Amino acid sequence: MSNRKALGECLNAVHATTPLVHNITNYVTVNDVANVLLACGGSPIMSDEPKDVYDITSICGGLNINIGTLNERSIEAMMIAGMRAKELGHVVLLDPVGAGASFLRTKTAQSIVEEVKPDIIRGNISEIKTLAKGSGTTKGVDADAADTVTDDNLDEMVAFVKAFAEKTGAVIAITGAIDLVADAEVCYVIRNGRKEMSRITGTGCQLSGMATAYAVANPDNKVDAVAAAVCLMGLAGEIGWSRMQEGDGNSTYRNRIIDAIFNIDAKTLEEGAKYEIR
């Protein structure tokens, strides 16, 4: 445990270095991903043109691949950018949105895992199980109700996520009511967040962009960095919800979460993060 990096230190590293992140993300949430990266201290570039991504990913420190709105052109771009990022030793995160919901999504996510070998894989439990087992089901882009991390199955899920991390060589982040962030040796069990965050589309996509920035800024402590980003997103959800006024709805809540990410400092993160390490 002596080589762990404090969550607040991970946050400070992002603010000190302003990591540049190339995002091939989905059209539903691309604007929010960019704004969250700016809010957390990073810098976003969005490009999914195959003839453009080789150069764009070359100048960035990290690549965030999100398969939420797939098409043949974007899949080609993901592979070109992914292989270039790995060639340069840049951080690559895969967000396998909806893996298990269709053959194309599942095949694309599995191809990226096998060929690009991402440093981080972040998804809900159904998506991660699909990648680990080679098949599965999801309800659209949401986790299947049968797939939930609970206190009753926590030991089993911690063992599962560590084993998948060891198999892939990636940091694995499973987000839900209880979040798990693990490499082969340690697993952060995180309990920040609000259930109302599920009423906003794209909080997971935003987290993937932010987690990429955190890993770029903390290259020797990727599991701690991703855990810091997950805690930060959940804490921002808590703070944002506490500031809701009568008449506010999910659109305002989205903005309050982004504002909270902008304003949270290392001390606030350290004091507000709710986690244990197993």
Question: What is residue 1's predicted lDDT score, i.e. its pLDDT?
Answer: 42
Instruction: Determine contact, residues 120/144, Cβ cutoff 8 Å.
Output: no
- CATH number, domain of 105, equals 3.40.1190.20
pLDDT tens, residue by residue, 125-168? 999 999 998 755 554 444 444 578 999 999 999 999 999 999 99
Q: Please count the CA atoms within 13 angstroms of the CA of 169 that sit on its side-chain side.
A: 9
pLDDT tens, residue by residue, 162-202? 999 999 999 999 999 999 999 999 999 999 999 999 999 99
**Average pLDDT taken over every residue of the chain:** 94
Residue 2 falls within a domain, yes or no?
A: no
pLDDT tens, residue by residue, 89-122? 999 999 999 999 999 999 999 999 999 999 999 9
Residue 245 falls within a domain, yes or no?
A: yes
Residue 235 falls within a domain, yes or no?
A: yes
The model's pTM: 0.95
DSSP for 247-274, please give it.
T--HHHHHHHHHHHHHH--HHHHHHH--
Number of domains in the chain: 1
Q: Which residues of 202-220 are buried (b: 16+ CB within 10 A; e: fewer)?
A: bbbbbbbbbbbbbbbbbbe
Question: What is residue 146's predicted lDDT score, i.e. its pLDDT?
Answer: 55
Q: Look up the domain containing 239 and give its range.
A: 7-277
Within 10 angstroms of residue 247's Cβ, the number of other Cβ atoms is: 6
Helix (H, G, I), strand (E, B) or coil at 187: strand
Question: What is residue 62's predicted lDDT score, i.e. its pLDDT?
Answer: 98
Q: How far apart are CA 115 and CA 112, in angstroms?
A: 5
Q: pLDDT band for 4, please (50, 70, 90 cuts).
A: confident
Residue 1 falls within a domain, yes or no?
A: no
Residue 68 falls within a domain, yes or no?
A: yes
Question: What is residue 116's predicted lDDT score, i.e. its pLDDT?
Answer: 98
Residue 259 falls within a domain, yes or no?
A: yes
Instruction: Determine contact, residues 117/86, Cβ cutoff 8 Å.
Output: yes
Please report, for residues 16, 97, 167, 271, 272, the alpha-carbon distance to residue 217 in angstroms, rounded to integers and kept in the order given: 8, 24, 25, 21, 21
Instruction: Determine contact, residues 146/112, Cβ cutoff 8 Å.
Output: no
Residue 108 falls within a domain, yes or no?
A: yes
